[in-house]
Amino acid sequence: MSSSQRYDVIVVGLGGMGSAAAYHLATRGQRVLGLERFTPAHDRGSSHGGSRIIRQSYFEDPAYVPLLLRAYELWEQLARDSGRDVYRITGGLFVGPPTCATVSGSRHAAQLWGLPHEVLTAEEVRERFPAFAPAPGQVAVYEPMAGFARPEETVSAHIELADRAGADLRFGETVTGWTDSDDGVEVTTTSGVFAADRLVVCPGAWAPEMLADLGVPIEIERQVMYWFETEPAPDVGGVPMDDIPIYIHETDAVEQIYGFPAIDGPGGGVKVAFFRKGQTCSPDTIDRVVGQDETAQMLDRVRQLLPGVRGPALDAATCMYSTTRDHNFVIAEHPAQRNVVVACGFSGHGFKFVPVVGEILADLVIDGSTRHPIDIFDPRRASVTTVDAR
């Protein structure tokens, strides 16, 4: 290796997953170099937008629940160690027809793992949470431990703590390639070449170009987040909109939306979004302009559940999902590169796992294995065809 300075591990990408990996590695005594093409806690990828839902009754697959239980412990540790408001518990309502995936899957996961929850009729939802107006016949699973994480605060907290633990973190540094050999890895950037024993790649929406040899197709999807004014502000049905639960609402048409309380007070509005209603794009081609027709469609849809969200739109922003065909993550040692560990394809439901993914990546680098159940995230898994994994 030709580099004058050698590290134990290089982490490429310091968004949600990469910043967590750098933190866990540095606090476990590794000499860490972190490389990020943008600024800290930037808004060009998938770790921005003010809020992300966290929940435990996981309708996507109950196999994720043990990871969530550990993630919650690490969210609390991160908040305590950083002094930042990285997460908040609000409770959560998962609403829709009784047999839809959002409701039945949440109920199944909660029952399987003994998680606190209640099943409410539409009438009970309206009585207990007057801001919500589910249609007759719809039901809700209420999870008291659901809430939201703040992505920018989370990334900043991990970066600060990694720096405090001695990590060398460099921003505005674009990686152009790497080589893997018996001696370790060499990573080439726009400013130089760096050497290390191991490499962790957390590329986000840049996965298709940076990990083209991984063997897992990953599609990048444009998604839009909206913030709407409520009326009458700040109260709807006598309930302050900054005091409602987070929610996911599924219709008979198998269309999901999700949303949050007014987490920054009534003036900041309530954030809502469709889940998986975007267009294929790339980081270079994504349209970051949000059209009026898109905004109107979102407003009409959210008012089916929250009639007090009347608009106008206060803001809108785009982000990107990096979606695998089976909607499961990729977290593993690279099947063809012995010194490379990868974390990608988080498919629009990964941010709640950020702290535990950082821990898993540190395990894989230092120990070559982890106690956490990650077999479903192996890039060599048999399922590479599209399945309904909502």
Q: Which of 172, 179, 200, 199 is nearest to 2 (CA)?
A: 179
Q: Is 147 helix (H, G, I), strand (E, B) or coil?
A: strand
Q: Hunting for tokens 């349209």 — which residue is that?
A: 287
Q: Coil, strand, or helix at residue 361?
A: helix
pLDDT digits (tens, 9 = 90+) for 179-217: 999 999 999 999 999 999 999 999 999 999 999 999 999
Judged against a pLDDT cut of 70, whether residue 383 lies above it is answered with: no
Q: What is the pLDDT of residue 4?
A: 55
The 10s digit of each residue's pLDDT in 79-97 is 999 999 999 999 999 999 9
- Is pLDDT of 234 > 80? no
In this structure, are residues 293 and 316 in contact, taking their beta carbons and an 8 Å threshold? no
For 134, the token pair is 């589910």
Residue 374 has pLDDT above 80, yes or no: yes
Reduced to 3 states (helix: H, G, I; strand: E, B; else coil), residue 379 is coil
Of 71, 68, 46, 100, residue with least CA distance to 248: 100
Measured between alpha carbons, how far is 250 from 108 in angstroms, rounded to an integer?
16
Pick the closest to residue 86 from 329, 354, 303 (CA basis): 354
| Amino acid occupying residue 2 | S
Is-contact 236 131, C-beta < 8 A? Answer: yes
Give the pLDDT confidence score for residue 128 in this predicted structure.
Answer: 95
- Mean pLDDT computed over every residue of the chain: 94
pLDDT, residue 252, reads 83
- Ranking 21-25, 234-238, 310-314 by mean pLDDT, the lowest is 234-238
Q: String of b and e for 342-374 (b: at least 16 CB within 10 Å)?
A: bbbbbbbbbbbbbbbbbbbbbbbbbeeebebeb
Compute the average pLDDT of residues 343-363.
98
Q: Would the pTM count as exceeding 0.75?
A: yes
Comparing CA positions, the residue from 279, 270, 357, 262 lying closest to residue 319 is: 279
Largest CA distance in the chain: 69
Q: Cα–Cα distance between 72 and 372 in angstroms, integer?
A: 14
Name the CA dihedral angle for 306, 312, 314, 319, rounded to a multiple of 10 degrees.
Answer: 60
pLDDT in tens, 12-40: 999 999 999 999 999 999 999 999 999 99
Q: Determine the pLDDT at residue 2.
A: 42
| DSSP code of residue 103 | I
Q: Which residue has the tokens 């990408």?
A: 13
Specify whether the backbone of 39 is left (phi greater than 0), alpha (psi in -120 to 50) or beta: beta
Asked if pLDDT for residue 174 goes beyond 50, the answer is yes
